[in-house]
Amino acid sequence: MVFYKLLLAVALPAFAADGLPPALSTSPIVPTILTLAPTVHDYGRFADGGPDDNWYVGFNNAWIVKLPPAPRGEFARAFIGAKLGRAKTRPNRDKPWVRELIPGKIYMAVNQVPAFPNDRSFFLTETSDMPVEPDPQARVDGVGAGEWFWAEVPLSMVSFTADNYLAIWSPTSWFTRASSSPILAAADNEDPAAARDTRAWNNRSILGVAPRSATGALQTPINNIAPAIAIKLVPPAPDEPAVNVAEFAAARVGSKVVARFSAAGEDVAEGWVEASRDQLDWTRISKVLRKPPYAFSIPAAKAPAAGTFLRGAARDSSGQVGYSEAYMVPYAQN
């Protein structure tokens, strides 16, 4: 039996009504999230469906936000993240009636000025892990609403005394228009005071890298819509394991491997299956599921060979990961 306790993260608005950074006490248990909208659940535009208004993350299209100094509190880890969706597909060259995913990667960066060198840039996610845009004329796997993705960064890169600039873009040369690129979510900015204080920009002059110089980086101001870009600050981990993964089982069904496990903990956010030949180096071989049941159908191309070890993994909203005991894929009986 799986036990889930709902524990929502605290989302702090990027600035108070008087324009000052928030001075709220932070929770010792749940993450603290800094974002332009009141909560991470307010970003319902563009990435979930409907018109995309050209809000794509691309090789030639970066989005930048300015968040206030992080609030006071005891933190052990920091993440930067964004809500993304609508990864695109295209006809397979040899089988045009089959849609295939357009592969590509998304990066983010954080700094206290709107300039983002390599050492401030981090891989965020790739289209194979994103929800996919539906096609009205063809069957497409993985369709769904936009999701939040997070990349851990050194805590020292987040300032508690100065503004924090975040940027999101893609190094993938395919991503030059909305019809081929993932879409960034957004929220309506309904605060008149906030709308007068520009804290978001679009830059369409990049070529696969974030702006290296602050000069000209803040190209087009955005005042009425907030891009879904955030900082997540995590308190120290508890003494006891935060996520318990158990009851891992796997079986072959035709050419596929079906695996399942249970995950217990506070605010379990996602789960996946990993494989290893030596139980030292583990590689994810399944999709990431963001809600139970944690049951995975692993296709033949990724199905592990006999003698391979498998395990289940689950992560909570604070970034803590738990693992099941390893399971070895048995050899065929003679």
pLDDT tens figures, 4-28: 222 334 444 444 433 434 434 455 5
**Helix (H) / strand (E) containing 270:** strand 268-276
Pairing of strands 4-5, 256-266: parallel
The pTM is what? 0.86
Q: What distances in angstroms separate CA 316 from CA 31, 62, 255, 269, 291, one per listed residue?
A: 10, 29, 32, 5, 11
DSSP β-bridge partners for residue 245: 263
Quick: pLDDT tens for 59-71.
999 999 999 999 9
Q: Is the peptide bond before 293 cis (omega within 30 degrees of 0)?
A: yes
Instruction: Judge whether residue 50 has pLDDT over 70.
Output: yes
d(CA 109, CA 114): 10
- DSSP code for 61: B
Average pLDDT over residues 36-45: 94
* pLDDT at position 252: 84
Mean predicted lDDT score pLDDT of the chain: 88
Q: Which of 167, 194, 200, 230 shows the shortest CA–CA distance to 39? A: 230
Of 122 and 320, which is predicted with more confidence? Answer: 122
Q: 3-state DSSP: the chain helix, strand, coil percent, rounded to 5?
A: 5, 40, 55
* pLDDT at position 179: 96
Buried b (16+ CB within 10 A) or exposed e, 97-119: eebebbebebbbbbbbebbbeee
* pLDDT at position 256: 85
Quick: pLDDT tens for 211-226.
999 999 999 999 999 9
d(CA 138, CA 127): 19
Quick: pLDDT tens for 245-300.
999 999 888 888 899 999 998 889 999 999 999 999 999 999 999 999 999 998 87
Whole-number percent of the chain with pLDDT over 70: 88
* pLDDT at position 6: 29
Confidence of residue 79 (pLDDT cuts 50, 70, 90): very high
* pLDDT at position 191: 67
Confidence of residue 139 (pLDDT cuts 50, 70, 90): confident
Place of tokens 């035709």: 254
Q: What is the SS3 assignment for 313?
A: strand
Backbone angles phi, psi at 234, to 5 degrees: -115, 130
* pLDDT at position 92: 87
* pLDDT at position 245: 96
d(CA 5, CA 267): 6
